[in-house]
Every structure is written in structure tokens, then in C-alpha cells.
Amino acid sequence: MAQKQPRDREMLESVYSMLALVFILVACVELCDAATVVDVYRLIQYDISGVPFGSRLSSLNHHAGSLHFSPGTDLSRTVVMIPVHELNISFVKEYISQKQPLGGLLFLLPEMFRLENKGGGGSSSEVQEKQLIKNVLLELERLLIHAKMPYPVYFAFENDEIDSVLNDVKKNDATGQPATATTGGYKLVVSTSEAKKVASPTITNIQGWLQGLKAEGDVNQLPTIAIVASYDTFGAAPALSVGSDSNGSGVVALLEIARLFSRLYSNPKTRGSYNLLFGLTSGGPYNYNGTHKWLRSFDQRLRESIDYAICLNSIGSWNDELWIHVSKPPENAYIKHIFEGFSSVAEELGFKVGLKHKKINISNSRVAWEHEQFSRLRVTAATLSELSVAPELLESTGGLLDSSHFVDETAIVRSVKLVAESLARHIYGYQGKNINIFADDSSLAVNPSYIRSWLDLLSQTPRVAPFLSKNDPFIMALKKELADHTDEVNVQHEVLDGMFTFYDSVRGRLNIYQVTIGNGLLQVASVTFDLLLLLALGSYLIVLFSFLVITTRGLDDLISLFRRPPSRKVKTA
């Protein structure tokens, strides 16, 4: 019995020592937490007819570097941090075109471009800086979305912490000693599973009606005017693609036009003899795929009743001229009638409207403008836009530079006045007459506050179609708003055509770890290293504990620790 007590005491001391060691190790691991954690937004990953584009990897675990590296430096395990205002586009072009190895790219966007930050004029220097950054982003985005990069590419916003990290990285690179496992520095880690294909991406169309007033005894179907705008976007970073101008401005204008005409049509005395069809369509960047499916769902009578359709696209960033794009020749009598109506209203408002004709090539599947989907079904249609020429596929569709900073609310107000007044004069037979139905001082005046509130929402809502679910809050908000101003609101869900394939993992959390070398000791690398260290030490402690029990108390005592103690039966009297 005397021998057993010292053994028990030794056993307890061993256990206490090991528990203390475990607590110390856990504390050490907690101290090894990330120096900085920031939100990051991944470059889009997609395929067109099986051809891959964009960033093909999402997980990241490499040391940080800057553009100040020495010539000939191996960057295969380095993430190059590049502030947009310091961007050397030649470097990016060279590494992409020559397929040189890179650990990854991290582009740093100015803080003022955060989605929460509203646009504004600012000082002349700020306006000039925004314009310079706009030009850089335009060139960068065109390069990135049409290239294939076998490494992770992310975007983040500058802040004090990440600026401090970048300054340290620049200093290290300037000495000719980039960060490695042996020299220290910073390590960038995005722990995420690799991206997977988005299965059966959904596109959603929303339509609303305002019924016209039939004359007594008239049994014929009323003619219809369609006002249409595509609401979704595409850009280098899907989680940042808000498209304030393309096509947030078109959506805002459509909602305000619906609100104005709902007031006119709510009174039988001022209700027009035209039906008004409002369509918010999806799949705009992808050859207006949603518009195509929406029109195909119409029956023949409805399609034939459409007098003409006006599509609104990018009308929030212009000064003194807008363009009407058509597929039918300008000499066409009906096209001339529509153009003259818009042109006369524009002249009264103090700006110009030009006419652009682009013939449709039926054999080409590429659809440059939304009205072309109507024209292919022999429905007269036109697109109103600030763009004088059609953009290339997947360009000018709401990318990085298309934020509220580059949209003019006044331009949207003027666009709404143009469309609403032109439609009203056509509907009520006032064409050629100087009658302002939506005069500024009337109860039917355009509401800038309404336009501003919706523009703010759109400028903070990424709308890349494959990542918007059927019941996305934004889609529900559009449906509700259209229902407040129109009748018979319908929602149509379709699957995006299979030419395009998209991949998930569009955003993540970047952990920046500081790696320092001192007294021969390497301090902290990453979460993976921490977990492996814990696992190894835990295994070692278990083996050590088992060894101590066996040597001091025997194997039977070790086994008994894991046995279930026998139950005690209570004796009854």
C-alpha cells in the first residue's frame, strides 16, 4: 500500500505536467492567429462551349510579393499584391500571354470603390483620380475575362492593415530577399474547396401589364407598347459586379416609367388606348438569352399586338447625346415615326438623339442589342443607349468600373423624361405638339428621390445571373415593385442555355500571416501548420501518457482506464 501511493503521486504529477503542456501549446497556437483578415473576391471562372476562361483555382497558400521584385525572381510560389493605382499592365500581360508561373495575383482596389460608398462629384483631383482608375480597370478587366489563368486571382479593397502589410512586403522585395519559408515575410492563405460547376443556372424574367382602355363597341385587341430592360450583369469579379450604369440605369428608368404611367392609367379619363407591357429580363450578357425565352413564351396574338418595343440599356452616363439602335433601315416609315417622336422631345429637353442602323445576321448567334431578339421575330423594336456602337460579347455589362461613382442621376432623370414623354405623345396622339405631360411642376413629374433610392440599391447588389437564385431577395424586390405599379405581374424561370458554364466560389476570406525568423525559431506559418502541429503533439502526448502508465502501474491499469466501471447494486432490506 505504501508503494502504491508514491506511484499514484508520480502518475498525477505526470498527468498535470502534460495538461499544462497542452494548455501552453493551445495558447501558442492562438497567439499564432492571422495578422490581418480581409474579404476577397475571386476572378470569375467560366467556360464558353467548353473553352476555359478566368481563374481556374480558388484555394491560396503562398508568400506575399510585390511588383518590386528583382529580375529573374521565381514567382511560382508567390502571390503578387498589386494596387490598381500602381498597376503595371505590361507585367500582367506578359505573365498571362507567356504563361509564366505565378502563385497567384491579388489586385487591391481603392477604398472609395467599396459597394457601400456612394458615388459623388468630389474635388477635381478626386474626379481625375477616378477617371484614371477607370481607364486602368477597363483595360485590366478586358484582359482578365478573356484569359485563362491556372492560379488563384483575387480582388480586395485597400485598408490601413493591408497597406501596412504591402509596405513591409515592398521593403523586403527591395532588398532582393523575397519572402520564403526561410527568410520570413507574410503568407497569404484562402482556405476554401476548389470551385465546382453551377448546375442548371437559373434566369428569371419579370413582366407587368397596364391595360389600356377600349372604346365602346371596340372588339379588336388593343395595340401594345413594350418597355424592356435587362437587369443582370457580368464582370471580372461576380461578387462586385453591380452594373450601376449597365444596366442598373435601365432598370431604374423602367420602374420610374411604370410608376408614372400607373398614375395616368389609374384614372379611366386619362387611360390610353394602348396596353403597356413592362419586362425585366435576365441573361442580358449572354446574348439576351432571357429575352429570347420570354418572347418565345408569348402566343401569336400577343406578339402581333406589339406596336413596338423600346429597350433601355446604359442610359446613366452621358452628356448631350443618346442613340437609338434599330435593325430595320432608317427609311422604314415606322422607324422614322418613332425616331422623329424621340428626336423632337429630346430637342425640347436640350440634347440630341442619333439613329444607328445595324442589320441582323440571322446565321450568327451573337446578339449585340436586346431589340434584336424582337427583330428576329419580326417585331419592331429599338434600343436606347448612350453607347454609339454595340459592345463586344461580355463587355460593358456591369464590370469593376461600372459603379455609382461613374453614374449621373441627372442623366437618368433626363432619359426617363425622354422615354415617358415620347411614349405619352405617341399613345395620346400628341406627337409634334409641344405638350409636356410629365412637366416638372406637375403631379406627374419625374421623382429624382425614387430614382436615387433604386440606383443606390442596384449599386450595392451584385447581379450575375448564375449566382441569383429564383427567390433571391433582389428578384423578390423587383417583383414587388413592379406589382405596386402594374397589373398581372408574372415571373418566368428558365435555365440558361448550355453554351456558358459557370463555377462557384466567388468570394472568400484572406488570412495574412506574418512569418518571422528569430533565434533560430520559425514563428507561425498558417492554420494548416497549426493543426498539423497540434495533431503531432497530441499524438506524442498520448503515447507518452500510455508509456508512463505502463512503466509505473502496468498494462492492466492502462486498460482499466478505458473500461466501463461495474455498476453497483443497492442491497434491499
Q: What is the pLDDT of residues 110-138, one digit of tens each?
A: 988 888 777 655 566 666 777 788 888 99
Q: Which pLDDT value is given to residue 225?
A: 98
pLDDT band at 363; cut points 50, 70, 90: confident
Mean pLDDT throughout 263-291? 96
Q: What is the pLDDT of residues 231-242, one digit of tens each?
A: 999 999 999 999
Q: What is the pLDDT of residues 492-532, one digit of tens each?
A: 999 998 899 999 999 999 999 987 655 443 444 444 455 66
Q: 357 - beta bridge partners? A: 326
Q: Provide the mean pLDDT of the chain.
A: 87
Mean pLDDT throughout 367-379? 96
Q: Which pLDDT value is given to residue 524?
A: 46
Count the alpha carbons within 13 Å of 419 in the hemisphere toward its beta carbon: 34
Is residue 559 packed enough to be buried (19+ CB in 10 Å), middle (13-18) or exposed (0-12)? exposed
Handedness of CA 495, 288, 313, 197 (dihedral sign): positive
Outline which parts of the chain fall under CATH 3.40.630.10. Answer: 202-497
Q: What is the pLDDT of residues 178-188, one digit of tens each?
A: 666 556 689 99
Is residue 160 packed enough to be buried (19+ CB in 10 Å), middle (13-18) or exposed (0-12)? exposed
Alpha carbon distance 204, 199 (integer Å):
16
Outline which parts of the chain fall under CATH 3.50.30. Answer: 33-197+506-524
- Nearest CA to 61 out of 104, 17, 117 is that of 104
pLDDT at 2 over 60: no
Q: Which pLDDT value is given to residue 199?
A: 92
CATH code given to domain 33-197+506-524: 3.50.30
Q: Which pLDDT value is given to residue 121?
A: 56
- Nearest CA to 254 out of 206, 292, 222, 302 is that of 206
Q: Are strands 185-190 and 507-518 parallel, antiparallel or unpaired?
A: antiparallel
What's the grid cell of residue 572? 434491499
Q: Which pLDDT value is given to residue 349?
A: 95
The fold adopted by the segment(s) 202-497 is: Aminopeptidase (3.40.630)
Q: Which pLDDT value is given to residue 17?
A: 53
**57-66, 82-91, 224-233, 325-334: segment of lowest average pLDDT:** 82-91
Q: 45 - beta bridge partners? A: 54
